[in-house]
Structure formats: structure tokens, C-alpha cells
Amino acid sequence: MNATPESADDLIVVGKIFSVHGVRGEVKVYSFTDPIENLLSYRNWTLRRDGSVKQVELVSGRSTQKDLVAKLKGLDDRDEARLLSGYEICISRSLLPNLTNGEYYWYQLVGLKVIDQLGQLFGKIDHLLETGANDVMVVKPCAGSLDDRERLLPYTEQCVLAIDLGAGEMRVDWDADF
């Protein structure tokens, strides 16, 4: 396990180690990819927690339907594996597949200013939630916001009118009173 050559800005979190599995040093992993098994296609992971960074290599992995079990190179002891609990699993943004026009990764949307059709600033996207029906944007107030309310907006074609990553803005069709 080495220090990572990637810059911190280049890394994107794609999962998190949360426990150990068995006695041979396997770890249990929450995957943030869709489908969850896509995480296993990245063989080199950068693990990050509280300023500590480690480079590891994925040897094998499997799905348990809710999460993944992963075997990392050189990790054969349950107690040693337990020390990795809580580490975020990161990869270089450059490894993510290219999206078609009009598709965005969540990390690209976080921080965008959300503006309604009347030009009112609701705030900035703090994070997104997966609800099953559709994703939901959590918009928190910022300097210049219409008010100090946190809003939950659906990430749907009906709500999201336009996204301008260059300007750092998203235009929405949403009533300020909702």
C-alpha cells in the first residue's frame, strides 16, 4: 500500500469500506456506483480517511446484493483488514466513463447555484439523495439566496430546465414556496 500519485482534486469517492468479512482479510464495501458491481471494474483504489491516503489493488470481489465483499492484494489478516474500516474508496475522475450530452455525474452538480424561472437564487446544491423514484437535490441557502430555507428538489426533466457547468448554475421550474 503506497501513497497515491493522484491529486486530491482528481479523486472521486465511489465507495466506502465499512467492515470485515470472514477471517482471510476480506472487507465489506458500500458501493456508490450504479449498478454496485461497477466498483469492481476499478482495480486500483485510493483509500482516504482523515488525511491518511493509501493505494491498494483489488484482487477480486463479489456482490452480496446490498453491498460488496472485496479482497485486496497483500491483505490476508482479519485484524489488519479491520483497520481499513471507514476508508473512502476513491478513483481518478479520468477513469469514469464518458457520459452522453445532457448526462452528469453527481459530483458535477454539487455546488451549482439553483435559480428559478424568475431569476431567484434558491441556494447551492449541497448533495443528492437516491430515493428510488427519482434523485433529489438538497439545496442549501448561500450568500444572496432568496431566503434561508433548505429545499429538496427532484432531479427530473420537469424540474431541471438547464445546467451550465461553466457558469456554475442550474435553472429550475420550481415554486419558491414549495
What tens digit of pLDDT does each residue of 80-97 get?
999 999 999 999 999 998
Q: Give the pLDDT mean for 9-35.
A: 93
Is residue 121 domain-resident?
A: yes
Is residue 110 domain-resident?
A: yes
Is residue 35 domain-resident?
A: yes
Shared domain for 25 and 78, answered yes or no, is yes
CATH number at residue 24: 2.40.30.60
Give the residue from 46, 63, 95 where a domain finishes: 95
Identify whether the C-beta of residue 103 lies closer than 8 Å to the C-beta of residue 159.
no
pLDDT (tens digit per residue) in 63-72: 998 899 999 9
Q: Give the pLDDT mean for 123-150.
A: 95
Number of domains present in the structure of the chain: 2
Is residue 3 domain-resident?
A: no
Shared domain for 18 and 89, answered yes or no, is yes
Work out the burial of residue 60: count CB atoms within 10 Å of its CB; fewer than 13 is exposed, 13-18 middle, 19 or more buried: exposed
Shared domain for 86 and 23, answered yes or no, is yes
**Residue 13, number of CB atoms within 10 A of its CB:** 13
pLDDT of residue 8: 64
Question: Domain limits at 29?
Answer: 8-95
Q: Is there a cis peptide before residue 35, judged by omega within 30 degrees of 0?
A: yes
Work out the burial of residue 7: count CB atoms within 10 Å of its CB; fewer than 13 is exposed, 13-18 middle, 19 or more buried: exposed
Give the residue from 95, 127, 149 where a domain finishes: 95
Q: How confident is the model at residue 178 (pLDDT cuts 50, 70, 90)?
A: confident
Give the three cell numbers for residue 110. 454539487
Pairing of strands 121-130, 135-140: antiparallel
Shared domain for 139 and 73, answered yes or no, is no
Q: Report the alpha-carbon distance of residue 95 to residue 16 in Å, rounded.
A: 18
Shared domain for 86 and 110, answered yes or no, is no
Reported pTM: 0.77
Cα dihedral 34→65→89→14 (10° resolution)? 10
At 34, the amino acid letter reads D
pLDDT of residue 131: 87
Shared domain for 85 and 117, answered yes or no, is no
Q: Report the alpha-carbon distance of residue 117 to residue 102 in Å, rounded.
A: 20
Give the residue from 95, 123, 141 where a domain finishes: 95
Is residue 177 domain-resident?
A: no
Q: CB neighbours of 9 closer than 8 A, spacing ≥ 6? A: none
Paired with 170 in beta bridges are 114, 163
